[in-house]
Structures are given as C-alpha cells and as structure tokens.
Amino acid sequence: MGLDFSVIPGYFDALLLGSLWTVAITLSSALISFFGGILLAVIALYSPAIIRYPFRAFAFMFMGTPLLLQLFLIYFGLIQIGLDLPAFVAGVIGLGLHFAVYNSDIIQAGILAVDKGQHEGARTLGLSRLQTIRKIIVPQAVRTVLPPIGNNMIALLKDSALVSVIGVAELTLTAQLAISNTFRPFEFYVAAAACYYVINLGLEYGLRRLEQSIQTSR
Amino acid sequence: MTNDQPFISVRHAKKNYGALEVLKDINLQVDKGQIVAIIGPSGSGKSTLLRAINDLDPLTGGEIWLEDMQINKELPHRQYEKHINKVRQNIGMVFQHFNLFPHLTVRENITLAPKMLKGISDAEANKLAEEQLAKVGLSDRIDYYPSQLSGGQKQRVAIARALAMKPKVMLFDEATSALDPELVEEVNLVMKQLAEEHMTMIIVTHEMGFAESVCDRVLFMDEGIVVEEGPPEVIFKNPKNERTQNFLRKHLNG
C-alpha cells in the first residue's frame, strides 16, 4: 500500500480546527505559565520560609513527575474529590502549572541579575518593597529572561500534544481520528507535524518581535 | 519649627559591620537651605553617613532627625516600613550610577513615584515631568529611554526624578564621579541652580572646586570621624588638622 496524500484535503477543515485548538491551548497555558512563573519566582525569593517551603515542595512536584501523569491526575483524578474539570481546562491547568515551574527558575535568575541600584533608586523615592518588586524589579527581570522563556514556550507548544490523551480535540487527536477513519497514519502524522511546524514558526516570529520591541528599554 | 532647631540633625551616629567601625560618633547639623559638602578619602565613611540619612544603610547607634521627626526611630517592622517610605518621599537622593529605571522612558521615570505615592492624575504628572525636565534642560528628551542618553543627561534626569517628589532635602552621593570629565559641568550647573534656589543639600563629592564654590560648609571625614569642619574658605585655604592638610595637598595639586 503506497502513500496517498490525496486523503489530506478532505480533512483540511478538521486539521485547521485542531490547529486552532492547539494554538488556544498553547496561548492559554503560556499565559498561566508566565504569570504563574513570576508569582512563584517572587514567592521563592521574597516570601518568609513558612510560605516559601510549601511552594517549593509544590513546585518540585510539578518538576519531578511526568507531565502525562499530571494531566491524568488533574483530569481523571480530581473528579473523585468532586472537581470535574472540562478536558480543555484540565489540560491548560496542567500544562500551565508545569511550565510555570520551569519559567519560575528562569525568572528567579533574572530577578537576581537586576542591579541592586535599581532597588535603592526606587526605595529612595518612597516606593515600598512590594511596589519596587512589581514596578521596577520584575519588569526588568522578565525583559532579560525573555529569550529562555520563549524557548520554554516552544517546548510548551510541542508538549501540548499530550493533552490529546485526555480527549482535547487538538491537532494530534484530530490526526489520530482521521487515521482511524482512513488508515493512513503516515500521511496524517506528517500533515500534523507540518501544522506544528508552521505554528511554531509563527510563535518564534512573535517572540522575536516581542524581544525587538523591548530592546531599547533594557 | 523654631529657629534654633536644626533642619537635619545627626546625633552620635554609629555604624559598624561586625568589628569594623565605619562611623564613630558623628554629629552633624544642617540648617534649612544650607549646602554641606562631605569630603574625605575613600573608606572614610562619607557615603555611609549620607546613606544613613534616608536609612539605606541603617545606623547601629545614634539618631537622625528631619525637622521634628526622627528618621531612624524604633518601630515594629511593618510600621517602620510605612514610616520610612513616608520619610523617604521628603528626601531626594542622587546616586553615582544614576539608577534610572531602564525599562521606563524619561517621562515614566519621573512620574512613577508621584503617581503611585501622591495619587496625582496623569495630566498633573505629565506637567510635573515637563517642568522638572525643563529645569534640567532636557525637555526634548522626555520620551527617550535612559539607554539613549549620555551619562550627564542620565544624571540630570535622575535629579529631575528626585525633585519631582518635592523633597525637603537633596542628598548627592558622588553624583559626578562616574561621568566623563566633559559631562561633569552640565550636572554641576544643575546643582548650582538648585543651590541658588536654596534647596537644602548634602553633597558627598571628590570635586574640591565645586565644594569650594557652591557649599556653605565643608566636612572633612576620615576613618569614620569628622576630622574638621567649617566654611569652605577655611577648610580649603587654611585647614588646621594635619590629616585635612595631607588630603587636600593630594587632591588640589593632583
């Protein structure tokens, strides 16, 4: 049985829809992972031990266990304690928290790299510690670590394929459904891969534009 | 405020890092509108003293007063934070390395604190930024980022930023030490202008010429004590203490 790519156009709409779901999952989880990462970084660096250590244990849970398992736990496991999340929400929470932990490590390094004079400059104007962190330190830290965070976001896009296992009809699951109808795995996996590739190009372009736009303000 | 109460008063200031004493029983009084220069070799404690005045480097002993308010009073942590943030709004500080916020424009650098702390409107804040920038001669740079400015311009923006809080006193911590020689004068001019407006200023400096021409009083510090103080014409022309003489010989002829 040879290759026959003529089956793809019939599934064009389905693949497009799957791609859109993948983009939606990626962007939603990216937002959670970004702001969650900032929050975790600030907690790790500035909060008292009584708050810091529980959060560190929580963070390590997300770093030290497989993402796939985390998704299963959030989607299938939480139902048992009465938390019945839609698959999309469960997927976004899982991906978002998982990458928030990775982003937090990077952002912590960025915060520590901000010059001490920035803190002093802000405090002498009368800003409180929290105001200084929020308005002066974190914005600068995020600017310097944007490239490595961008790399994480590209990894996030690729790992979003994992949420297919909890039934979110994103790109990978769409490809699998098409394959179960047509028995053409090679064609549809290649088509899905091509879609991921294009989405990734778009993501990279967006990240580069973002980096350029903040060049002068660093 | 009664006339015999000094504007700023440092009483028996002590500061040590472990066994190392950097300030040993310093007393200093500054009247309203007075301009005081602190000179001395590096490691003499002059920057530490200046930074103690707004509690950036807290003293380990002694008191600092601004008018009838003790700056470094003992309070529980939270209350102290509130207190010191209020106090610092009255004390402008200019640093050697400017400490402008690089992610904000010149305008935003100046308006940030007044907007956050005094709750003024955007329009008022913009007007304030324009006024302060005009004063330091940088009106045309209002929407630039700090990275697009020269060192002298950065320092003038830093001064404008401090002035926008309408401080009662300005502290200068070697404000021109990090500048290329040809950029020092533009910053000195701004400081001279402030002096003419009778802003109370305490200036830590290595520029003897500037201290001599602008200041009302000069303190010479060495090894954590005030060795000698007096009007500039006495300190620079006719110092009594041998250490002052040695220091000035090196600095005035070098």
pLDDT in tens, B107-140: 999 999 999 999 999 999 999 999 999 999 999 9
- The pLDDT assigned to A218 comes to 62
Q: pLDDT class for B33, splitting at 50, 70, 90? A: very high
Please state the domain count of chain A.
1
- Contact assignment for B89 to A217 by CB distance below 8 Å: no
Specify the amino acid at residue A109. Answer: A
Band (pLDDT 50/70/90 cuts) for residue A2 is confident
Measured distance CA(A43)–CA(A37) in Å, rounded: 10
Nearest CB among B102, B113, B148 relative to A125 is that of B113
Residue B171 pLDDT > 70, yes or no? Answer: yes
> Which is it for the CA torsion B135, B50, B150, B145, positive or negative?
negative
Average pLDDT over residues B207-228: 94
The mean pLDDT of B86-112, rounded to a whole number, is 96
pLDDT at B252 (0 to 100) = 77
- pTM of the full structure: 0.89
3-class secondary-structure state, position B15:
strand
Residue A21 has pLDDT above 80, yes or no: yes
- Which alpha helices (H) appear in B72-180, and where do they start and end? 77-88, 106-118, 122-135, 151-163
Q: Identify all chain A residues contacting B91, using CB atoms and an 8 Å cutoff.
A: 124
Q: What's the complex ipTM?
A: 0.92
Does the pLDDT of residue A133 top 50, yes or no?
A: yes
Judge whether residue B254 has pLDDT over 60: no
Question: Would you say residue B2 has pLDDT above 90?
Answer: no
Q: Average the pLDDT over A60-76 and give the result.
A: 94
The partner residue sitting opposite B103, judged by closest CB among A125, A126, A217, is: A217
Answer yes or no: do B102 and A217 touch at CB < 8 A.
yes
Tell me, yes or no, if A212 comes closer than 8 A to chain B by beta carbon: no
Q: How far is the C-alpha of B56 from the C-alpha of B76, rounded, in Å? A: 18
* pLDDT confidence of residue B144: 96
Q: What is the pLDDT of residues A24-52, one digit of tens each?
A: 999 999 999 999 999 999 999 999 999 99
List of chain B residues whose C-beta atoms are within 8 Å of the C-beta of residue A143: 103
Residue A174 is predicted with a pLDDT of 96
pLDDT tens figures, A146-202: 999 999 999 999 999 999 999 999 999 999 999 999 999 999 999 999 999 999 999
Residue B117: per-residue pLDDT: 96
Instruction: State the residue range of the domain holding A102.
Output: 5-216
> Is the CB of B103 less than 8 angstroms away from the CB of A125?
no
3-class secondary-structure state, position B2: coil
Q: DSSP assignment of B17-65, as one string?
A: ETTEEEEEEEEEEE-TT-EEEEE--TTSSHHHHHHHHTTSS--SEEEEE
Mutate to test the interface with B, among A46, A118, A124, A217 (most CBs of B within 10 A): A124
Of the candidates B176, B169, B115, the one whose C-alpha atom is nearest the C-alpha of residue B151 is: B176
Which chain A residues contact residue B89 at CB under 8 A?
125-126
B222, pLDDT greater than 50: yes
pLDDT value of residue B6 = 85
Grade residue A20 by pLDDT with cuts at 50, 70 and 90.
very high
The size of the A-B interface in CB pairs under 8 A is 71
Q: How many CA atoms lie within 13 A of A215 on its CB side?
A: 6
Whole-number pLDDT of residue B1? 44
Percent of chain A with pLDDT over 90: 93
pLDDT at res. B205: 94
Query: At A93, which CATH number?
Result: 1.10.3720.10
Phi first, then psi: give them for residue B150, nearest 5 degrees.
Answer: -75, 170
**Contacts with B85 from chain A: Cβ below 8 Å:** 123, 126-128
As a whole number, mean pLDDT of residues A192-216 equals 91
Among the partner-chain residues B97, B103, B162, the one whose CB lies closest to the CB of A139 is B103
Given a contact cutoff of 8 angstroms between Cβ atoms, the answer to whether B204 and B222 are in contact is no
Mean of pLDDT values over A81-103: 96
Q: Is the CB of A79 inside 8 Å of chain B's CB atoms?
A: no
CB contact under 8 A, A118 and B101: yes
